[in-house]
Structure 1
Amino acid sequence: MAIEQKDVLFTLVKSLSKSEKRQFKLYVGRLGGNSEANFISLFNLLDKVITFNDDLILKKTNIKKQQISNTKAHLYKQILVSLRLNPVHQNTRSHIREQFDFAAILYSKGLYKQSLKILEKAKDLALNNGENNLAYEIVEFEKVIESQYITRSLSNRADELSSQSKELSLINARTSKLSNLSLQLYSLLLKEGYVKDDVDSKKVKLFFIKRLPKYKLSDLGFIEKLFLYKAYLWHSLIMQDFVLSYKYSQKWVDLFEENPEMKKQNSVFYLKGVNYLLESLYLIKHKTKFNKVLEKLDFDIQNRNISLNENTNTLTFLYYSQNKLNLYFLEGRFNKGIRYVLKLLDEIKIYETKIDAHHIMVFYYKIACMYFGAGKNKECIFYLEKIISNKDLKMREDLLCFTRVLNLVAHYDEGLDYDIDKLIISTYKFLLKMNDLHEVQRKMISFLKNLSSIYPQDLHKAFIRLHKELIKFENHPYEKRSFLYLDILSWLESKIQNVPVEIIIKQKAKKLIK
């Protein structure tokens, strides 16, 4: 049976850069005899082939069938050891752990003072970089050494270590509560999306208040503030308070601007913060500020103000590309955006093995919206079908719903109405099943359902009536989300004025916050 890219070893080998492969060969070649070792033969095979299975291993190497499992496990371990030694993958955190290991070796040899000296330096490094969990481990190790060998370096050594241990324990407990709250809210956001009514709103507020630990902002360190701002951000997004989400995402990013060394130490958190700042600015339609933040992100990437590795390279592509699409939406430049889409589709192919299916589908939805805005409904439907036909997709419910509604609108707009009744019924059933049918969606589906009974000369008045009904929900606390990913109002205005929807959105873009 073919193993292909689902095999963890094969995936790891294929992820290695040329320099990482070169270092691995140098690493395993340090000892004589390794050049003929089974795991080297297996590495060379995996490096060359596109797919493989166990039969290929037996055919192309001297590895026996009963040796395959152990050889693969050994090769996997050796690659990881080699990568750990690579300077590219070393950071402050790994340096602290390395010093901890050195101290443990010295301790085992009975060299207590040398061990404590290294631990003291490692502890200072950990504390200065917000690595409080590692600092706590170091203090606990220092206590072990002091309990077995009294150094008498300080008369109050025991009290000092006990005090440090207690303080770090409290900090870590508070950090853990904040990180748990942040993670739970993020999970809730992904699973449920925005609150739908007052009942949802009260539940989320109670959930948040019950789990938010007591704190004094001036007592919090970098990591604690980071998780605090993240928790408030997820809460504000779920509550559809986008002004607050802008406030806390800005605090998140400002935290890194005040501690620029943390951009390299915690690059993933920084990139995520910038991404949510951009998303918040997009939701409140602050075009000028959005553009500046996007330019700053590009500046940080180009000037390597963040640590660039395969993980962060993927994230920078993901966040910059999605927000570049959003900029075209804000400006109403759909036809120009399509030229960017054509380039983007090639880049998605490069990164598709490193991006999860959810984010690929988000790209497809945004691309579909770009084609819809440009009046190219067939292309819009093509990308929406990619989402609808994916039966195994774990995607945010609100985006799945808007995909169906946009698909219905695009079919009508393109004149593909021969099966419109079936499409309306399937869309209606899907939204009912998702328990996500809002008043805006009900009115849209009802309107499209009755289109066949409206005389052509009455169609213009029907569009005007629907627009008057829907515009009342534009700033509704729970219904406004229906307009976030699908600008139905602009579409209706384009029908009423008999102009392309792109022109309507461009006119609105000129009035956005400067």
Structure 2
Amino acid sequence: MSNYKSDHLFLLIQTLSKSEKRNFILYANRIKRNKCTKFMKLFEIMRKMSVYNEKKIFKKTPIIKKEQLSNIKAHLYKQILISLKKLQNPVENHDIKVREYLDFSKILYNKGLYIQSLNLLKKAKIIANSYESNTILLELVEFEKMIESQHITRSLYSRYVELSEESKELIERIQCNNALSSLSLELYGLYLKVGYVRNEKDKIFIETYFRTNLPKFDINKLSFYEKLFLYQAQLWYHYIRQDFIMCYRSSSKWVELFQNHKNAKKMAPVSYLKGYHYLLDTLFYLNHYSKFIHVFQQFEKDVQNGEILINGNTKILIFIYTYTNRINKHYMEGSFSEGVKKVIPLLFIELNKLSNRLDSHYIMILYYKISCLYFGSGDNENTILYLSKIMENKKKNLRQDLQCFSRLLYLIACYESGLDENMDRKIRSTYKFFIQMDDWSVVQKKIIHFFQNLGNVYPHQIKNHFKKLRDQLVKYYEHPYEKRTFLYLDIISWLNSKIENKSIELIIKERFIKNNQK
């Protein structure tokens, strides 16, 4: 399995469509002698493999020696990329077209054809300007300055001034853009590491960090990308602070920005999809069901009607966001059993197609969502199975929050399933992990303490034991830091199910019906 995951060439070949494979064969065979070359024989073998296997390669192609394989793979990898580049649509990949014009312009310049070189630069600048590609636009302007200063009549002073001003403006815009994008990325990185603020120290740190690194700006003068990075940074700032009302405002502005710039949906489809997802995520946490359903229908409609550019990146995100929010819908409705029947089978069909391209973060989120869906349906065995996959993750610095709460749900699922023979050891393991991750809140302590004492409670006292824990935890439901536990784990609904002798599914379904009565 490790070879399968790590071999970049095999993974690249697996992502090729039928037309891309056919195009590569035509491209590689344009020179007749290539038909029998070692790299083409390697391609033919690898494209038929379901799992990467070097022994099979050597057996099928004895002309390839072990010491040659690395170089042949590198050459094949490069040739596939070249053939893919030739297939790229300039309309969908404007930056490739701009780069092509710049390359041609440099070739003409080296030939001494300065006017022709400048004409191509002008065409490239028009495209770069229309897509706000400021970094490459600066490169174009700098090359134009060099040509004008060295080879065109030096009497055109106004043109030099014009180019100089253009260059300064672009540098300022790039600096602002870079500051906002860096702030957004750094906040996202903090969230991936620790999740929501856990205490006053975290809150002060994130507020100070945001204020210090947010550049001064006039919202009316910001370009499309500057606004996009601003809304992203604001969203992550509010998200980490658990201020979901402000998250809703930032994510709404994010999606609205794209809806006001129709071309941007194809220009930056990944960002558009992410904006939609965070808007849906916020509505889920706010428990605004009707608005959630409306936005989710809009999202699916945009995907289906071709509004969004479909490529390898967007396919993965559409899969993740579609199934995450389908599961969230069943959470909100309390229709866990229906979700297991309708969502899980289709999810795994798609997951098997994309699993080798999903990063650990996305897989952890999916496993946690799946675990909670199974738990709500009463299937503790599968709950334990998928929580175990998260707990086995070796990347302790990734989504520490998710790893911590997976262990809490694991304790509950083990208790519910009757697998409590080693409960003391499991409790100690969970306790140690929380200490190790420096993620130790009052709510978590009370839950751990509850399980530690459960073995000393007589059967007729069990219900009162659950009531006591519920009454203790309800006090923290709106606490600025302690409430984060309830975002990951609906512990109150589970406690109510034990107290009222009902399934957790019925408890949540009754609450949903009550809250959504017209």
Q: Same fold (TM over 0.5)?
A: yes
* 282 and 330 in structure 1: CA distance in 2 versus 1, 3 angstrom threshold: same
Residues 1:431 and 2:426 are matched in the alignment:
no
The residue number in structure 2 matching 1:348 is 351
Residues 270-281 of structure 1: pairs in structure 2 closer than 5 A: 270-281=272-283
Of 503, 508, 515, the residue aligned with 1:505 is: 508
Residues 1:294 and 2:302 are matched in the alignment:
no
Per-residue CA deviations over 1:145-203 (Å, capped at 9, x if unaligned) read: 10122258966111110010000000001111111111111111111111111111111
Contact kept? 1:113, 1:151, Cα under 8 Å? no
Per-residue CA deviations over 1:328-348 (Å, capped at 9, x if unaligned) read: 111111110111213322322
Unmatched 5+ residue regions in structure 2? none
The residue number in structure 2 matching 1:417 is 420
Residues 147-162 of structure 1: pairs in structure 2 closer than 5 A: 147-150=149-152, 156-162=158-164
Deviation at 1:45, TM superposition (A): 2.6
Give the distance between the partners of 1:316 and 1:257, measured in 2 at CA: 18
Per-residue CA deviations over 1:94-120 (Å, capped at 9, x if unaligned) read: 111111112222222222112212211
* 63 and 201 in structure 1: CA distance in 2 versus 1, 3 angstrom threshold: same
Aligned residues: percent identity? 46
* 74 and 377 in structure 1: CA distance in 2 versus 1, 3 angstrom threshold: closer
Query: Which one is further off, 415-424 or 194-203?
Result: 415-424
* 234 and 153 in structure 1: CA distance in 2 versus 1, 3 angstrom threshold: farther
Under a length normalisation based on structure 2, what TM-score does the superposition of the two structures give? 0.94
The residue number in structure 1 matching 2:37 is 37
The residue number in structure 2 matching 1:186 is 188
* 179 and 126 in structure 1: CA distance in 2 versus 1, 3 angstrom threshold: same
Contact kept? 2:273, 2:318, Cα under 8 Å? yes
Structure 2 residue matching 1:156: 3-state secondary structure: helix
Give the distance between the partners of 1:398 and 1:64, measured in 2 at CA: 48
Give the distance between the partners of 1:446 and 1:70, measured in 2 at CA: 59
Contact kept? 1:229, 1:251, Cα under 8 Å? yes
Q: Which amino acid aligns with 2:85?
A: R
Structure 1 residue matching 2:488: 3-state secondary structure: coil
Deviation at 1:5, TM superposition (A): 4.8
Give the distance between the partners of 2:376 and 2:182, measured in 1 at CA: 40
Structure 2 residue matching 1:453: 3-state secondary structure: coil
Structure 2 residue matching 1:62: 3-state secondary structure: coil
Of 317, 328, 331, the residue aligned with 2:330 is: 328
Per-residue CA deviations over 1:239-269 (Å, capped at 9, x if unaligned) read: 1111111111111111111111111111111
The residue number in structure 1 matching 2:86 is 85
Q: Which amino acid aligns with 1:177?
A: A
Give the distance between the partners of 2:297 and 2:125, measured in 1 at CA: 37
Instruction: Give the aligned length.
Output: 514
Contact kept? 2:45, 2:57, Cα under 8 Å? no
Residues 9-408 of structure 1: pairs in structure 2 closer than 5 A: 9-49=9-49, 50-53=51-54, 56-57=57-58, 60=61, 62-63=63-64, 67-88=68-89, 91-150=93-152, 156-339=158-341, 340-392=343-395, 395-408=398-411
Per-residue CA deviations over 1:47-85 (Å, capped at 9, x if unaligned) read: 233433278348615345564443332222111111011
Deviation at 1:511, TM superposition (A): 4.9
Contact kept? 2:5, 2:356, Cα under 8 Å? no
Query: Which one is further off, 99-108 or 200-209?
Result: 99-108
Give the distance between the partners of 2:250 and 2:323, measured in 1 at CA: 23
Under a length normalisation based on structure 1, what TM-score does the superposition of the two structures give? 0.95
Query: Which one is further off, 144-153 or 123-132?
Result: 144-153
Deviation at 1:389, TM superposition (A): 3.0
Of 441, 449, 458, the residue aligned with 2:452 is: 449
Contact kept? 1:494, 1:500, Cα under 8 Å? yes
* 154 and 293 in structure 1: CA distance in 2 versus 1, 3 angstrom threshold: farther
Give the distance between the partners of 2:127 and 2:395, measured in 1 at CA: 46
Query: Which one is further off, 172-181 or 356-365?
Result: 356-365
